Amino acid sequence: MTDFQSNKKLSRAFYKREVTVVAKDLLGKILLKNNRKYPLAGKIVEVEAYHGDFDEAAHSFKGRTKRTEVMFKEGGYLYVYFTYGAHFCCNVVTGKNGQGTAVLIRAIEPLVNFDIMINNRFGRKLRNENEIINLTSGPGKLCKAFNIDKSLSGIDLLGDKIFIIDNKKLKEKAIGISKRIGITRSIDLPWRFFIKDNPFLSRK
DNA sequence: ATCAAGATTACCT
DNA sequence: GGTAATCTTGATA
């Protein structure tokens, strides 16, 4: 029993707060997915906030569609989308019902059952240690490693299949802030949050 | 029915 | 540093 497993699952109230607050507070927390027998777990080290009201980069900006419906739930649900014909990305829905705000999980530091994540991601065993740093250092990569796909979109993070558990609060000076990555609109919002100097970030 | 864009990644020089 | 791959979604006809 590793120590983080005795910590508490994050509450509905945690997720229902304002999206940038939740985004920052998710850093250092543990994402856990219960597989058949072995749990997959990793520390969240990089996130981005998206806000449907005035943020043109958010999928929810243009209103409800079949794809983005999940993003308008109340905080504490998972929103998964498919992009570039190849990758799934997972988000934590935040705020009140109908708001359309969510936090994209961009990078994770793997903690347990590396062999399963490695197999999920590469379809084989580890060839060299350099592949560890590349395992979950990006939104598409971590979904592959955790085997997260669209079938999990809309799932409740207060359930037992996939959830996030609490961890020690980070010091303010350990957190970095920047513009978001890979978008073409509303590019100046400083809504990317990351743990400074963590080796598992999507960009140096 | 057709089309363009995309919250990315891997592989190339 | 540049770009091809790949297909779902949402918009337009």
How far, in Å, CA of A93 to CA of A77, rounded? 5
Residue owning tokens 């497993």: A5
Nucleotides of strand C under 7 angstroms from a protein beta carbon: 5-11
Q: Where are the domains of chain A?
A: 3-194
Residue A150's nearest nucleotide, by CA–C1', is: C8
Residue A33 has pLDDT above 60, yes or no: yes
Tokens of residue A88, six digits: 């799934």
Strand B–CB A60 distance below 7 A: yes
SS3 assignment, position A72: helix
How many Å apart are A126 CA and C11 C1'? 44
**Which pLDDT band, with edges at 50, 70 and 90, does A94 fall under?**
very high
Q: What share of chain A has pLDDT > 70, as a percent?
A: 98
**pLDDT average, residue stretch A65-87:** 97
Q: Looking at residue A21, what is its pLDDT?
A: 98
Q: Which two tokens stand for residue A37?
A: 């027998």
CA A6 to C1' C9, in angstroms, rounded, equals 41
* Range from A20-29, A80-89, A125-134 carrying the lowest mean pLDDT: A125-134
Q: Is the CB of A139 under 7 A from strand B?
A: yes
Q: How far is the CA of A53 from the C1' of B13 (A)?
A: 43
pLDDT value of residue A36:
77
Let me know how long chain A is: 204
A138-196 pLDDT per residue, tens: 999 999 999 999 999 999 999 999 999 999 999 999 999 999 999 999 999 999 999 99
Query: What is the pLDDT, as a whole number, of residue A31?
Result: 98
The predicted model gives A53-77 an average pLDDT of: 97
CA angle A89, A94, A191 (to 5 degrees): 70
Rounded CA-CA distance A144/A169 in Å is: 28
Q: Which residues pair with A48 in a beta bridge?
A: A104, A192
Which residues, listed in sequence order, are joined to residue A32 by a DSSP beta bridge?
A41, A163
| A40-60 tens-digit pLDDT | 999 999 999 999 999 999 999
What pLDDT is attached to residue A178?
97
Which nt has its C1' nearest the CA of A82? C8
* pLDDT band at A3; cut points 50, 70, 90: low
Q: Give the nucleotide with minimal C1' distance to the Cα of A68.
A: C9
What fold is seen in the domain A3-194?
3-methyladenine DNA Glycosylase; Chain A (3.10.300)
Nucleotide nearest residue A104, measured CA to C1': B7
Rounded to 5°, the CA angle A11-A15-A16 comes to: 110
The Cβ of residue A135 has, within 10 Å, a number of other Cβ atoms equal to 23
**Protein-proximal nucleotides of chain B (any atom < 7 Å from a CB):** 5-10
Q: What is the mean pLDDT of chain A?
A: 96
Q: How far is the CA of A134 from the C1' of B13 (A)?
A: 22
The pTM of the full predicted model, rounded to 2 decimals, is 0.96
pLDDT of residue A97: 98
